[in-house]
Amino acid sequence: MIIFEVLGITRPWLLLALILLPILWFVLRAIPPAPKIRRFPGVSLLLELKDNDIQPDKTPWWLLALRTIIIGVLIVGFAGPFLNPELIENKNTNLLIVMEGSWADAPNWNAQKKEVLQVVEKAKNSGQKVAFLQLTDPNQSLVFSAASDAQKKIQTAEPNAWLPSSGLERLLINLDSFDTYWIGSAVQWPMQSKFTEALLNKGNVKVSKSKVALFGLLPTSFTEQGIEVNGIRLKSKTAEQVSINVMGLDPSGVERNLQIAVLNFKAGMSQASQVIELPKEIRNRITRIIVMGQQSAVGVRIVGENNLRSEVAIISGDVAAREGLKLLSQEYYLAKALKPSHDLIDGTIEDILLANPDAIILADIAKVGAKVAMIDWIERGGTLIRFAGPSLAAKNHDLEKADALMPVKLRRGGRSLGGAMSWGSPKTLQPFKANTPFFGLPTPTEVKVTAQVLAQPSPNLATHVIARLSDGTPLVTQKPLGQGRVVLFHVTANTEWSNLPLSGLFVSMLDRLVSNSTSSSFEPVALIGTTWKLSQELNAFGNLKSVVDRVGIDGQVLVSGGIASKTPPGVYEREKLRWTRNLLQEDSEFKLPIWPSAVDLVGPSASQLQSLMALFLIIALALLGIDILTSLWLSGKFWGMGAAFAALFIFLSFAPGDARAELASDRSLTATRDVVLAYVRTGEVWQDEISSAGLLGLSLALNQRTSVEPAAPVGVSLGIDEISFYPFLYWPITSDQKALTADELQKLNRYLKGGGLILFDTKDANFSQFGQSTIEAQTLQKITVGLNLPPLSLIPQDHVLTRSFYLLQEFPGRHVGAAVWLEASSGRKNNTTETPFGNSNDGVTPVIIGGNDWASAWAIDSSGQPLLPVGTGFSGERQREIAMRFGINLIMHALTGNYKSDQVHIPALLDRLGK
C-alpha cells in the first residue's frame, strides 16, 4: 500500500488496530495510577477505617495521551512502513533483470548485485516471475521462473572481462511481454541501442545508471627516456589524479612494484599521458601496468616480454671457406641460439638492411659492406652485434680511424690464455654489473675463455664494457649509435675461443641484446594459420590467473574477433611466443551510454527501499522510557530508580564518542618515551579489540620476563597516524580491508626501509593450501602489492627468530603449523658487503607473514586471564606459552637487530681469541 507517494506500508491490515486506540483510551482511564506504597506502623489503627470517597485518583490526561501515542506508533511500526515505494502502475507479471557484467561493472559489482537482489526481493513480495540475464555471459537462456531461482543465479554471477556482444536481441524474440530492470554500466557498448529497442518493445524498461569513475590504460609507447603511459576516462569536468603502478620482474625473477606514477587528468579532458622514466633494462622487465585502487580489467595493461618476435639476420664471414665444418661455424651456433624465439633472415647485407631487422649479427667480419646504410639503420634503432674471430683479430686496426661500427678500438692480434705457450689459465666471467643489459643473469663458473681480442686501452674504455673476464679485460663492449647500438663480443660465436656458446648464458645474453631492439609494427598476416593457446587470463577484476586446458584459437580469429567471450584478454602462447592481448586499443575511448527517452532512468539511491519499522519502534521505545520516568515521578519514586535511569540515559547520550580524540602529540610522546607495540586498525571492532588485548598480553609477558618494558599497546590507522615511532606493527588481515592509497604505501615503504617490522597475520592457518588461497590471503596480496618487500622464504630452521630469547622450533599462535614467511637471507649478505652502512634494517626482516592468529593466543582480558581458548587442556596451555615465547622472540628480534644473531658466534670468537 502506498501513501503520499513517499511512504508505503507492508502490512496495511495491521493499521486496523488503530481503531482500538479510543477503546484503549477509556480502558487506560479506568485504571488508576499505581498506588504509592508506604510503610506505616499506624496501619493497625487504620484497619477498620473506610475511605470517604470511592472515586479513585485519576491518571493525568497527558500521560494517557502519551500511552495512546506509544501504542499508535507501535501499531504503525509493526505495519512495516517504508520510504520510496515503487510506483509501478500496471505491473507486468514478468520481470527481466539485466546486468551487463562487463569489465566496466567489476569495480562496483557487489553494489550492483545488492541492488538487483533488492529489486528481486520486491518482485518476490509482489509475486512476479523473474528472469536474470547477464549480457556478457556466454551461456544465456531466458526463462521466467520463481524469484528465488533468479536470486541464486544473481548471487553466483561474476563479471567478465569483455563487453556484451551484438545480436542479444534474438534472445527476446519468442517471449511474451515483460518489464525490465537493467543495471546500466558506465560505458557504452556497440549495438546497445538495438538491444534497448528490443526490450522497450516488450514492456517497461527501467535503467539504474551506475556511477563509477573508470580509468583505462591505452597501449604504452616506448620513448627515449622510458615508457609513456596513456590513460582514458569517462568525460568529466573535474580534474583527477590516478596512481599508476608499474609492475615488473626484479633481477631474481619475482614480480614486484617497479615504479609508481601519477596520471593527471585535466578538467574536461578524457585522456592523459605520462612519461615514466625508466632505464632500458628495467623497461624490458615490465610485465604489467595497473591503475591502483580500481578493480577492473580495463585498468590493467599487460606488457609482453616478447610482444613481438624480433627479426635477426646473421652474416658470417667464413661461409664459403670451410664448408665441410658447418657444424662448427659461428653461424650455426648463433642460429641454434636464436631460432626458438626469433625470426632469422638470410641474404646479403644490402637485402637484409632493406628488410629492416631488429638486429644484425656479424660473425667475424672485419670489413663491413654497405657501411653507410648500416650506420643509418643502426641510428634508426637497430642493434648490430659483432663477434670476434681470426679475421677481426688479424686486421690492422691501428691504421684506421675509429670505426663507427666498432664499440672500441681493438689491438692487433688476440691473446690466448691457458694454452701450451701461455702463462695464464683460461679465464672465467665476472658477475654482470647493474646497468648492463646482462644484469641479473647468472655467470656459470664452467664458462671459460681461452682466447679473445683486446681493446686498446683508452680513458673511456670502461664506459663501453658491459661484460668482463675475471682479470678485468672486456668480454663484451657496446657503444650507442643514434637510437641503436653496436655490441662486440670479444670472442667467437663458436667454441674455438671459449665455451661460452655452449652455455645457456649465451642464449640469454643474445636474447637480452636482441629483445632490447625497438619494436616494429605487428603484422596480422603472419598470424594466418597459427594456433594460440591462452595461458594466462585477465579476469574482469584485473587479476591475471594462469589457466590450463584451453582450446587453441586461430591467430586470425584473435585479430579479427577482438576481445569477446571466446577470446578473453590475457596472455596467449604459441610455442615459445607470448602474445598479450589487452582490452583497449590505441583509439579506444569510453563513451557514456545513450538511453532513449522511453527508458525510465532511476538513480541507484532513489530506488533504495528504506524500511522505517526500526525508526518507529525506536521512537516507541523512547516514548516508553519517558512514560516510565513520568510514572515513577507520579508515584514518588523518581528519585530512586528514575534518577538512575535518567543518569544512565544522559550518560549514554553524552558518552565519549571517539577514543581517538586524544591528541596526536600525546601519542607521539608516549610512543617515543617507552617502547610501544602497535597494531593496525582494521575497521572491524572485534578484531581491533583482539589485537589490542593480544599486544597487551605480549607487553605484559615482556614486562615480566625480559628487560623490555613496553607501555600499553596502541592501534594505528595508516591514513592518519604516524607509524615511524613503533618498532613493531601487528597487522591482522580481515577480508574487507581496502587496498592502500599512494600516501599509505609511501608511508609504509618508508617505515619498512627505516627498520620497522610488520607482522602480517592472515589468521587463516593457511587453511586452503594446494595452490588455492583464502580470502584473507587474497586481501593480503591486494594490500602488499605496492610494498617494497624483499624476496621471501620460509623461515629457516636456524633463523635468529628461533633463538633470540627462547629456543623455539615452531611458531604457533591459535593455530599451529601454518608456514611462516620472512625475508630470504641469501641476498642480504651481498648487500651488506657492498654498502656497510646502507643497511638500516640491521639484519631484521622487515616483514613476517603467517596465518597462525597470534594475537588471539596472546590476548588477555582486563584481569590478566587468557581471553580466548587455545587448543585443549594442558597441550593447549603449552601452545599458548610457546605462542607467547614466539612473541617475545619476535620483539627481541625487532629491537636488537643483528645483536642476537651475532651472539651466536661469540663462543667461536672467544675460542679463537684464546688460541
Partner 1 sequence: MTHQKLLNAGLELAEGWPQLLAQAQSLANSFIAGGHGRRRAGVGDTFWQFRPAQQGDNLRDIDWRRTARGDDKFVRQNEWQAAQSIQFWVDGSASMQFFSSAESKHYRAACVSLALAILLTNAGERVGTVDGKLPTKQGRIQVEEMAKQFSLPTKDDFGSPEIDYFQSQSLAVFVSDFFGDITLLEKAVTAAANLGVSGVLLMILDPEEISFPFSGRTVFESMAGEIRHESQQAGGLKSKYQTILKNRQAILRALAKSVGWQFHCDTTGSSPADALIWLHRALEHRR
Q: Which residue has the cell 470517597?
A: 53
Q: Count Cβ atoms below 10 Å from residue 826 Cβ, excluding itself.
A: 10
Least separation in angstroms between residue 44's CB and partner 1 is 5
Which range touches partner 1 (CB under 8 A), out of 27-35, 107-115, 641-649, 701-709?
27-35
CB burial of residue 773 (10 Å; 0-12, 13-18, 19+): middle
Of 23, 31, 45, 525, which lies in the binding site for partner 1, with binding defined by CB under 8 A? 45
Q: Please tell me whether residue 44 binds partner 1 under the rule CB under 8 A.
A: yes
Q: Is 872 an interacting residue with respect to partner 1 (CB under 8 A)?
A: no
Is 864 within 8 Å of 700 (Cβ atoms)?
yes
C-alpha distances in Å from residue 286, one per residue of 247, 257, 383, 641: 6, 9, 21, 72
Smallest distance, partner 1 to C-beta of residue 869, A: 48
52 binds partner 1 (CB under 8 A): yes
Give the one residue of 22, 56, 504, 754 binding partner 1; rule: CB under 8 A. 56
* Min separation Cβ 50 and partner 1, Å: 9
CA distances from 844 to 250, 823, 892, 909 (A): 21, 9, 10, 22
Nearest residue (CB) to partner 1, 45 versus 320: 45
Q: Pick the stretch among 41-49, 134-142, 144-152, 195-203 that binds partner 1 (CB under 8 A).
A: 41-49
Query: Residue 386 has which C-alpha cell?
Result: 659483432
Which of 23, 31, 43, 320 is in the footprint of partner 1 by CB under 8 A?
43
Q: What is the rounded distance in angstroms from the CA atom of residue 891 to the CA atom of residue 673?
A: 17
H or E, element range at 97? strand 94-99
The span from the CA of 432 to the CA of 600, in Å, is 66
Report the nearest approach of partner 1 to the CB of residue 67 (Å): 18
**Contacting partner 1 (CB under 8 A), which of 5, 39, 655, 837?**
39
Contact by Cβ (8 Å): 564, 534: no
Q: How far is the CB of 53 from partner 1 (least distance, A)?
A: 5
Least Å distance, CB 29 to partner 1, is: 15
Least CB distance from residue 35 to partner 1, whole Å? 4
Residue 37 or 659: the one with the smaller Cβ distance to partner 1 is 37
Phi-psi region of 770 (alpha: psi -120 to 50; beta: other; left: phi over 0): left
- 765 Rama sector, left if φ>0, alpha if ψ -120 to 50, beta otherwise: left
DSSP 8-state code for residue 642: I
Residue 280 CA to residue 518 CA, distance in Å, equals 10
Q: What is the smallest separation between the CB atom of 55 and partner 1, expressed in angstroms?
A: 7
Q: Which stretch binds partner 1 (CB under 8 A): 33-41, 218-226, 511-519, 528-536?
A: 33-41
Cβ-Cβ contacts under 8 Å for 272 (sequence gap 6 or more)? 230, 231, 232, 233, 242, 263, 264, 265, 266
What DSSP assignment string belongs to 587-631? T---------TTSEEE-TTTT--EE-HHHHHHHHHHHHHHHHHHH
Provide, rounded to whole angstroms, the least separation between the CB of residue 675 and partner 1.
55
Q: Min. distance of Cβ 637 from partner 1 in angstroms?
A: 13
Please select the residue that binds partner 1; options are 26, 31, 41, 614, rule is CB under 8 A. 41
Instruction: Identify which of 915, 762, 911, 883 has the alpha carbon closest to the alpha carbon of residue 814.
Output: 883
The footprint of partner 1 on this chain (CB under 8 A) covers a number of residues equal to 24
| Window 189 to 218, contacts with partner 1 (CB under 8 A) | none
Give 38 or 237: the residue with its C-beta nearer to partner 1.
Answer: 38
Q: Which is nearer to partner 1, 347 or 640 (CB)?
A: 640
Nearest approach, Cβ of 30 to partner 1 (angstroms)? 14
Binding of partner 1 by 720 (CB under 8 A): no
Q: Stretches 43-51, 74-82, 383-391, 661-669: which one binds partner 1 (CB under 8 A)?
A: 43-51
Question: Which of these ranges, 22-30, 47-55, 468-476, 567-575, lies near partner 1 under the rule CB under 8 A?
Answer: 47-55
Residue 53 makes contact with partner 1 by CB under 8 A: yes
By residue count, the chain amounts to 915
Q: Can you tell me which of 20, 57, 194, 769 binds partner 1, judged by CB under 8 A?
A: 57
d(CA 292, CA 273): 16
Q: CB of 58: closest distance to partner 1 in angstroms?
A: 10
Asked if 913 is part of the footprint of partner 1 (rule: CB under 8 A), the reply reads no
Find the Cα–Cα–Cα–Cα dihedral 216, 218, 222, 226, rounded to 10°: -10
- Nearest to partner 1 of 56, 480 (CB atom): 56
For partner 1, which residue of 23, 31, 46, 551 counts as binding (CB under 8 A)? 46
Contact between 33 and partner 1 per CB under 8 A: yes
Q: Least distance from C-beta 41 to partner 1, angstroms?
A: 4
Q: How many CA atoms lie within 13 A of 866 on its CB side?
A: 18
The mark string for 698-717 relative to partner 1 (x by CB under 8 A, - otherwise) is --------------------
Nearer to partner 1, 556 or 635 (CB): 635
Residue type, 274: Q
> Cell 649465451 belongs to which residue?
506
Q: Least distance in Å: CB of 31 to partner 1?
A: 12
Between 38 and 545, name the residue whose CB sits nearer to partner 1: 38
Query: Which stretch in 44-52, 619-627, 651-659, 754-762 sits in contact with partner 1 by CB under 8 A?
Result: 44-52
Q: Which residue type, as a one-letter code, is found at position 234?
A: L
Q: Does 36 bind partner 1 (CB under 8 A)?
A: yes
- Give all strands (DSSP E) within 431-471, no chain letters: 451-455, 465-468
The smaller minimum CB distance to partner 1, of residues 40 and 837, is found at 40
CB contact at 8 A, 28 and 69:
no
- Does 60 help bind partner 1 (rule: CB under 8 A)? no
User: Which three-class secondary structure state does DSSP give residue 581?
Assistant: strand
31 binds partner 1 (CB under 8 A): no
Output the smallest distance, CB 84 to partner 1, in A: 49
Among 31, 35, 836, 911, which residue sits at the site for partner 1 (rule: CB under 8 A)? 35
Q: Which three cell numbers stand for residue 753?
A: 626501509
In order of 383, 439, 440, 831, 886, the CA distances from 825 in angstroms are 39, 21, 18, 11, 20
CA–CA dist 144, 162 (Å, integer): 26
Which of 13, 26, 31, 51 forms a contact with partner 1 (CB under 8 A)? 51
Q: Residue 673 CB: number of other CB atoms within 10 A?
A: 10
| 3-state SS class at 341 | coil
CB of 33 to partner 1, least distance (A): 7
Q: Which is nearer to partner 1, 33 or 561 (CB)?
A: 33
| Comparison of 53 and 736: residue with beta carbon closer to partner 1 | 53
The residue range among 32-40, 329-337, 456-464, 748-756 that interacts with partner 1, by the rule CB under 8 A, is: 32-40
42 lies in the site for partner 1, by CB under 8 A:
yes
d(CA 331, CA 338): 10
Out of 26, 55, 423, 911, point to the residue binding partner 1 (CB under 8 A): 55
Q: Report CA-CA distances (Å) from 632 to 38, 60, 653, 878.
A: 15, 13, 21, 56
How many Cβ atoms sit within 10 Å of the Cβ of residue 633? 12
Closest distance of CB 32 from partner 1, Å = 6
3-class SS of residue 206: strand
Q: Which of 31, 49, 267, 661 binds partner 1 (CB under 8 A)?
A: 49
Does the protein bind partner 1 through residue 754 (CB under 8 A)? no
Task: Quote the least distance from Cβ 38 to partner 1, whole Å.
Answer: 6
User: CA separation (Å) from 536 to 258, 548, 550, 552, 573?
Assistant: 21, 8, 10, 13, 9
Question: Alpha carbon of 157 to those of 148, 149, 276, 297, 831: distances in Å?
Answer: 14, 12, 38, 17, 49
Rounded distance between C-alpha atoms, residue 419 and residue 421, angstroms: 5
Q: Where on the chain is the footprint of partner 1 (CB under 8 A)?
A: 32-33, 35-49, 51-57
